[in-house]
Amino acid sequence: MTKLSVNINKIATIRNARGGNTPNVVDAAVNCEKYGSQGITVHPRPDERHIRYQDVRDLKKIVTTEFNIEGYPCKEFIDLVLEVIPTQVTLVPDPPTALTSNAGWDTQANKSFLIDVVKTFKDKGIRVSLFVDPMVSMVQHALETGTDRIELYTEPYATSYPLDKEKAIKPFIEAAAEAQKLGLGVNAGHDLSLLNLNYFYKNIPGLLEVSIGHALISDALYLGLEETVKQYLNQLK
């Protein structure tokens, strides 16, 4: 079964636009789980422009499914994750000032760095996933870091899907197959939507989890959160 982890960063973005605590990110997480989400994802950044570090602490107290914290492993991020101890930490290579994640790790060039960071988290019993581009070589080098899983960066798939979906998904199939051969779990995320999720799900071997935020929260503006979560779950059948 492929799990749906809802990224609630955009809920926090709306809240922060006015200050205060509306909409409430903790309530949003509770509702996502109530409606069937099997995980909650957050991506805290040092400038706290969406998810705040205190949000992460508050969410840890109430999330009953899988809690996934993603981000660049700067000292502040590492300290937060080690304090909270989520189910999974997903490491992304973008610097803290980046607007959004837009590339996977070069797992060969950053191997020594990643080996140390991965070990730090695994020593605390936290499952580790590395955000990678759909390249067999990057998957192979990811294995050498000691990571448990990879998360395939799916923006290129989402962009190319309307033009040629078979061509768009081909490198992802190859990367996922290599990960399975090597014993790595496979997650995926970035720009997956109701338009392209089902085709991705049906064609990627061993897909364990998808993390979806921007499209899902945007759809919820029209469909409502409960109906939106249900529709995304239906794409994973």
Residues marked as catalytic: 43, 70, 190
Q: Which two tokens stand for residue 14?
A: 């709306």
- CA distances in angstroms from 92 to 58, 66, 71, 82, listed in the order given: 23, 19, 5, 17
Q: Which two tokens stand for residue 22?
A: 């509306």
